[in-house]
């Protein structure tokens, strides 16, 4: 009897942990807003200086000051993958205000 109670308690705890993990994973980092490229201005010359990001769930729409538009996907709370025209991978700061991109540029939230 004791072992079945212990097994039941373990299953309930595991299920509760799974629900908590799913809820945490579904809470996306908010990247919506205006960003400025830096610190290396050479990398910003081709990508643009400023970016407007709109977000729906884990999908991002990006527009730059040069008129380029593209999409990106929030792949986790700390990573983002941008498609054409940028084709970059990014690491998001813990406060969500900076993205460090694979081309060496950084976007900082204005």
Tell me if 57 sits within 8 A of 28, measured CB to CB: yes
**Taking the chain, what is the end-to-end CA distance rounded to the nearest angstrom?**
61
Q: Domains in the chain, start-ordered, CATH in brackets?
A: 30-109 (2.40.128)
Which mean pLDDT values do the consecutive 10-residue runs of the chain (110 residues) have? 46 43 58 93 86 97 96 97 96 96 93
Sign of CA dihedral 57, 60, 61, 62: positive
pLDDT computed for residue 13 by the predictor: 43
DSSP designation for 38: E
What is the pTM for the complete model shown?
A: 0.73
Long-range contacts, stretch 68-73, CB < 8 angstroms, 24+ apart: none
Position 41 scores a pLDDT of 81
């Amino acid at each position: 009897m004791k072992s079945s109670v212990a097994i039941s308690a373990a299953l309930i705890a595991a299920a509760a942990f799974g629900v908590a993990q799913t809820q945490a994973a579904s809470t996306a980092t908010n990247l919506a807003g205006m960003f400025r490229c830096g610190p290396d201005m050479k990398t910003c010359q081709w990508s643009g200086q400023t970016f407007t990001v709109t977000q729906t769930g884990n999908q991002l729409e990006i527009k730059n000051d040069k008129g380029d538009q593209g999409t990106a996907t929030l792949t986790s709370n700390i990573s983002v993958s941008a498609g054409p025209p940028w084709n970059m991978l990014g690491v998001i700061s813990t406060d969500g205000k900076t993205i460090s991109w694979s081309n060496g540029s950084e976007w900082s939230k204005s």
